[in-house]
Amino acid sequence: EAGVAQSPRYKIIEKRQSVAFWCNPISGHATLYWYQQILGQGPKLLIQFQNNGVVDDSQLPKDRFSAERLKGVDSTLKIQPAKLEDSAVYLCASRLGADIYTEAFFGQGTRLTVV
């Protein structure tokens, strides 16, 4: 089975610029997560989608971050404008369903460096 695909793998931008990340989850997975992982820490949930609806975005800095999941499949996460502290790995994960006792599958992540 194909895994969760993310692109790009790496991105370097200057502060105040914009950036977008793309995620293609495993086919049939209704739940999609975006996580931010700062070096040396565990993943921090930014947003959780169930199909194309937002379930939890309580930790998403909405003044600069936005995310959408078109047609309940692919998703994009955007940062505009970026700050130095946004440097992190952005992980996308998908899951069959949030109310089912199954694991989440993660992509390789996008490593963002803001200079």
Partner 1 sequence: GESVGLHLPTLSVQEGDNSIINCAYSNSASDYFIWYKQESGKGPQFIIDIRSNMDKRQGQRVTVLLNKTVKHLSLQIAATQPGDSAVYFCAEEGYGSAGNNRKLIWGLGTSLAVNP
Minimal distance, residue 73 CB to partner 1, in Å:
19
Query: Which token pair is 18?
Result: 């914009």
Q: At 48, is the secondary structure helix, strand, or coil? A: strand
- Does residue 57 touch partner 1 according to CB under 8 A? no
- Does residue 70 touch partner 1 according to CB under 8 A? no
Stretch that binds partner 1, among 21-29, 60-68, 79-87, 91-99 (CB under 8 A): 91-99
| Residue where the block lists tokens 């999609």 | 32
- Does residue 88 touch partner 1 according to CB under 8 A? no
Q: Which of 1, 27, 42, 63 binds partner 1 (CB under 8 A)?
A: 42
Q: For residue 61, say if its preceding peptide bond is cis, omega within 30 degrees of 0.
A: no
Nearest to 112 by CA among 48, 45, 38, 44: 38
Q: How far apart are CA 72 and CA 87, in angstroms?
A: 28
Tell me whether residue 58 or residue 63 sits nearer to partner 1 (CB atom): 58
Which amino acid is located at 62 in the chain? K
Residues lying near partner 1 in the complex (CB under 8 A) are found at 4, 33, 39-45, 48, 50, 55-56, 91, 93, 98-99, 101, 103-109
